[in-house]
Structure 1
């Protein structure tokens, strides 16, 4: 029976996942470790509103378990040595240089974790891949661990794949009531050990067992299929805009088909987050590596259309504002890649804002959860006012309120579907703007009648009537 779990990586997956396991399994001590001292300090902060990951409900779950059977530390080796089971939940970004640059996953941190486990583990240790990994990564981890177990200390290892299927913004709900838990491996006893942990709150019929390679590929495939739906509906949205159709009506019509279903049919500025693009590009790389260029081209087109959608929205803003945004103030509402998270990785707002900055726009960016320092890192430009608005150099600044953002603005761009943006009082906001003023609703969440009644011109994604 598992008594101590160590999770390497205190990010968006490791932190929430381990918090829920600790909450549901009070008899198991769960320790989350990370080499980032500031991140661990934030997890240990007495003020639960300062957790490094914003996720609805996470503060409550952490509050129940932290100090009881959930702890956070930077002492990685000690946590591994004490653990019966070690989860690897570190970042696997796309490589930026070398073999496979731009598509293959950078596995340096996964390998470093495997070597750390190989050095520090004691007795029999079950190593669980939680990070999203290329197919057959487990083989590399096994090789490293087996080399460490060849000595006289009788250490043994089992490697399992247990991919996460979380949606940011609903991660706690997804963890507490998952569609399925997937465990891949070739050691039935180890699979049963991990399954027994989830069985404390997940019905056995929803705990799926596969081999290692099927489990690793299932994660990539799930994200690829979901992203494909988003790119598909966005392609139809563009056609709706030029044909007079309404993409929401089209989505409702096709979504009632039981073979298709209604989920992931909301047109918008495209997908973001840490997984979709990275995982598809990984799949593209693997398909080319194994001699399947046509399959690779198909999945690569999903990413290409997503990028095109974001550039298209930025170009459309420029075209509607008399062909130039140089010196014009544009209010950006939403910077996170989706509502209910502070995650900005691959956020559509980044590419759209960069395009507008390149055109010389003056951006006022508001987001209820994203810190200004994160915006600066993503935009690769410091926040600072532009003294000469007509210089042609784009600039941006944080707006603490929506009212501050729209004051003096020529246009408002709604880029994240935060609840507070759905209920904006456009009658009070419109007088603050410079006329003629536009609202570009890239999420289709505004009150269209109120926007028009306030004297603003509206563009809404996928609506051919506006």
Structure 2
């Protein structure tokens, strides 16, 4: 099939290359000339394992190309809308400017029988409004909502081998036509028996925000337990292990620590609350405000813990921060807890050096006031304390004996409960972590 992908950021670029990998003829369209130029050269404008190889392979087939001109989407029968919905400045609500602009630009090239496929995370009610706009301007063109469920670090796998497909369809015969077209574009995925949920617009729009809200709640729950563990002397890691054996609960997302960040969970739960308020159902989601508050308190507590470890004052103390991305296997620093903590430490007088395997360049651009190092050893040279704030494999696998020869004081704060506490304490380190006894 001939396919266009509008918006070639993280979601759109991966989706475009994946559609080409499935055998479709794909054009990716974006207004950012530098991004398009990089993609044309098979250079990924972000860090994502496996993506650059996929990009090079699909470009070489001739089935994938990129453009800054919406006219190049003409002739495609499916048009995926993959633009961002950031949080509005000074508000909880999502900024819909990019989604609306993308659909308006598509109206120039849409023809009857085309299918607009929304993948962006949007407030409930958006799809119905956009469907009316499309139907009014291009009778015979249809709109569906097909939310994405990508995990950064696993985006290629999650696109080519998703755990489910969700189709938000119009009612009646139009819905049947749209479903057939989606089944065709996702034919290899459908053929594997991947679970598929066909539903109305509103339910499809809510699936992503509901899923993210549940995950955020689970993370904040275990972090609330970590607060209690610190007050009682209990151990949150053992607590999580014990309750995680209950298959109704499960162990995933029960790793207490610095909390969540990134471009999805924080802004999605806030937008969900804002939309519920607009619909007069704000009381249904008041718990998410506390989920958000617990998450933000983790950052404050990490700074307090660093101060405690540094004998009650951060002034003039050398602190190494290992990790800048909000999660491993990513260079995404949006709402990064690690960088937020690093900046707070610096404001309180610490001499902070930050390192990350992938996110240093992005961090330098967004947080130029911080000092950066290329390696963990360079960041930790003569450090009074080491904070592990992103659980990269490289940091999990550090040799505490060898690493101890670099620092001035063997004091480590495990912000992600990612290290082997026994190995580090055996090597002479003072070990502290959120929700766990000191070692």
Once residues 438 and 278 of structure 1 are traced to their aligned partners in structure 2, the CA distance between those partners, rounded to angstroms, is 34
User: Which residue is equivalent to 1:421?
Assistant: 395
Shift of 1:296: 3.1
Once residues 65 and 128 of structure 1 are traced to their aligned partners in structure 2, the CA distance between those partners, rounded to angstroms, is 22
User: Which residue is equivalent to 1:439?
Assistant: 412
User: Which residue is equivalent to 1:176?
Assistant: 160
Shift of 1:465: 4.8
User: Which residue is equivalent to 1:33?
Assistant: 29
Q: Is residue 199 from structure 1 mapped to residue 187 from structure 2 by the alignment?
A: yes
Counterpart of 1:10 (choices 8, 11, 36) is 8
Counterpart of 2:383 (choices 409, 426, 440) is 409
User: Does the 8 Å CA contact 2:48/2:155 hold for their aligned counterparts?
Assistant: yes
Q: Secondary structure at the match of 1:86?
A: strand
Q: Secondary structure at the match of 1:278?
A: helix
Instruction: Say if 1:378 and 1:242 are closer, same or farther in 2 by CA, change over 3 A.
Output: farther
User: Does the 8 Å CA contact 1:184/1:215 hold for their aligned counterparts?
Assistant: yes
Q: Secondary structure at the match of 1:124?
A: coil
Once residues 248 and 74 of structure 2 are traced to their aligned partners in structure 1, the CA distance between those partners, rounded to angstroms, is 49
Instruction: Say if 1:70 and 1:459 are closer, same or farther in 2 by CA, change over 3 A.
Output: farther
Q: Secondary structure at the match of 1:363?
A: strand
Q: Is residue 451 from structure 1 mapped to residue 424 from structure 2 by the alignment?
A: yes
Counterpart of 1:107 (choices 92, 96, 104) is 96
Instruction: Say if 1:432 and 1:75 are closer, same or farther in 2 by CA, change over 3 A.
Output: closer
Instruction: Indicate the larger mover: 199-208 or 456-465.
Output: 199-208
Shift of 1:377: 4.0
Counterpart of 1:162 (choices 116, 126, 146) is 146
Gaps of 5+ in 1: 150-154, 384-395
Counterpart of 2:129 (choices 140, 158, 163) is 140
User: Does the 8 Å CA contact 1:350/1:378 hold for their aligned counterparts?
Assistant: no
Instruction: Indicate the larger mover: 12-21 or 85-94.
Output: 12-21
Shift of 1:115: 0.8
User: Does the 8 Å CA contact 2:432/2:438 hold for their aligned counterparts?
Assistant: no
User: Which residue is equivalent to 2:76?
Assistant: 83
User: Does the 8 Å CA contact 2:396/2:418 hold for their aligned counterparts?
Assistant: yes
Counterpart of 1:185 (choices 169, 175, 188) is 169
Once residues 8 and 434 of structure 2 are traced to their aligned partners in structure 1, the CA distance between those partners, rounded to angstroms, is 36
Shift of 1:180: 0.4
Once residues 72 and 217 of structure 1 are traced to their aligned partners in structure 2, the CA distance between those partners, rounded to angstroms, is 32
Give TM-score, length-normalised by structure 1: 0.89
User: Which residue is equivalent to 1:376?
Assistant: 364
User: Which residue is equivalent to 1:233?
Assistant: 222
What whole-Å deviation, never above 9, does each CA across 1:2-45 have from its counterpart, x for those lacking one? x2111011111111122222212x1x201111111111222222
What whole-Å deviation, never above 9, does each CA across 1:217-269 have from its counterpart, x for those lacking one? 11110000011000001111222233222222111211111211221111121
Once residues 119 and 284 of structure 2 are traced to their aligned partners in structure 1, the CA distance between those partners, rounded to angstroms, is 26
Q: Secondary structure at the match of 2:107?
A: helix
What whole-Å deviation, never above 9, does each CA across 1:118-164 have from its counterpart, x for those lacking one? 12323432111111000011123123323322xxxxx5321110000
Once residues 213 and 463 of structure 1 are traced to their aligned partners in structure 2, the CA distance between those partners, rounded to angstroms, is 42
Instruction: Indicate the larger mover: 81-90 or 233-242.
Output: 233-242
Shift of 1:204: 4.2
Once residues 187 and 243 of structure 2 are traced to their aligned partners in structure 1, the CA distance between those partners, rounded to angstroms, is 36
What whole-Å deviation, never above 9, does each CA across 1:322-341 have from its counterpart, x for those lacking one? 22212222111011111111
User: Does the 8 Å CA contact 1:311/1:351 hold for their aligned counterparts?
Assistant: no
User: Does the 8 Å CA contact 1:242/1:464 hold for their aligned counterparts?
Assistant: no
Instruction: Indicate the larger mover: 210-219 or 260-269.
Output: 260-269
Once residues 357 and 26 of structure 2 are traced to their aligned partners in structure 1, the CA distance between those partners, rounded to angstroms, is 31
Once residues 350 and 72 of structure 2 are traced to their aligned partners in structure 1, the CA distance between those partners, rounded to angstroms, is 50
User: Which residue is equivalent to 1:274?
Assistant: 263
User: Which residue is equivalent to 2:351?
Assistant: 362
User: Does the 8 Å CA contact 2:400/2:424 hold for their aligned counterparts?
Assistant: yes
Once residues 70 and 305 of structure 1 are traced to their aligned partners in structure 2, the CA distance between those partners, rounded to angstroms, is 47
Instruction: Say if 1:450 and 1:201 are closer, same or farther in 2 by CA, change over 3 A.
Output: same
